[in-house]
Structure 1
């Protein structure tokens, strides 16, 4: 099931934010700090959940648990000085899987899964000048963190195992004054 973003009317899955709209990436554009990650592994149904026949629905919620700004010196400035910064974002993807069970009584069941993720946000495009680093005066408090699931797939591998693939875009957008 999909709906439209209230900001730009772009179709998105419920619970996701609108993906950034920009024609060029880099300084001067609306968004120039982002990363994409693939969350791809299998999920084992916990006991005593019954075996799965078909996946009927999946809900997802992202929780950002830690944001760390790293000072970086790649050797282009004197030792002890900050050349630029990188941002590490860590969190958990909470998945709820509704499925039809291979049992005659109580056909629908629900299983919860917690999937950790971690991503490094750098400046795009990465050039020989910026080397992907955010400016030395970068302040995370001046930015909002956004998450959008660009693609998702779920499959039954066997009666006790599910496969998931999510392509996730995480970006920083300057807060509006």
Structure 2
């Protein structure tokens, strides 16, 4: 079964003045991918250990968006295309330090991500390439990032666990 996401929401901002944007029932994602960024984050030794997390915020920046032609063996023309999206998710974690004066500190982490967009939700086939001649090609599209889930949990006074789901998607530019 193919899941074509819609109806999600998000907050934050993209560098360059573009707002983080999630698909909706009125504006579903046709070409997309979802990626998971997980693992542990360690508070650097120059920062005090934490007692508890106060607030988590984020910013997303796209670094590169590139259309890649896929040429199959024995052919000279592309069978289809993939779009590579690269960027950075910056997390800002505000926490109360585990020290006698209980000062509030902020630590930030820059988490790179990459994804391949190539699935057409409008087609119920096993084709995994953007077909030649699609109106979004070669550069008639806008790339978006949507933070669908962001959960930070405390493991100990210096270690956090991150669970992040990003949706990378493109839509045709509006005239």
**TM tier relative to shorter chain:** 0.7 to 0.9
* 1:99 paired residue number: 95
Say which of 146, 156, 159 aligns to 1:148.
Answer: 146
Match of 1:19 in 2: 22
2: CA distance between counterparts of 1:18 and 1:62?
11
Checking the alignment, whether the CA contact within 8 Å between 2:49 and 2:157 is kept in structure 1 is yes
TM score, norm. by length of structure 2: 0.81
Q: Quick one: structure 1 residues 10 and 30, their matched pair in 2 at CA, closer, same or farther if it must change by over 3 Å?
A: closer
**Aligned equivalents of 2:148, 2:64: Cα separation in 1:** 22
Q: Deviations over 1:107-130 (max 9, x none)?
A: 2000011111000001223624xx
CA distance 1:30–1:158, change in 2 (3 Å): closer
Deviation of 1:10 after TM superposition, in Å, equals: 7.4
Corresponding position: 1:115 with 2:118:
no
| Cα root mean square deviation, aligned | 2.3
Whole-angstrom CA distance in 2 between matches of 1:61 and 1:13: 9
> Structure 1: where are the runs of 5+ without partners?
1-8, 24-28
Deviations along 1:48-104, whole A, 9 cap, x unmatched?
1000111111111111111121110245xx522111000111111111110011012
Please show how residues 9-158 of structure 1 align to structure 2 within 5 Å: 12-15=10-13, 17-22=20-25, 30-75=28-73, 78-105=74-101, 107-125=103-121, 127-128=125-126, 131-137=127-133, 138-158=136-156
Shift of 1:158: 1.2
**Number of residue pairs matched by the alignment:** 160
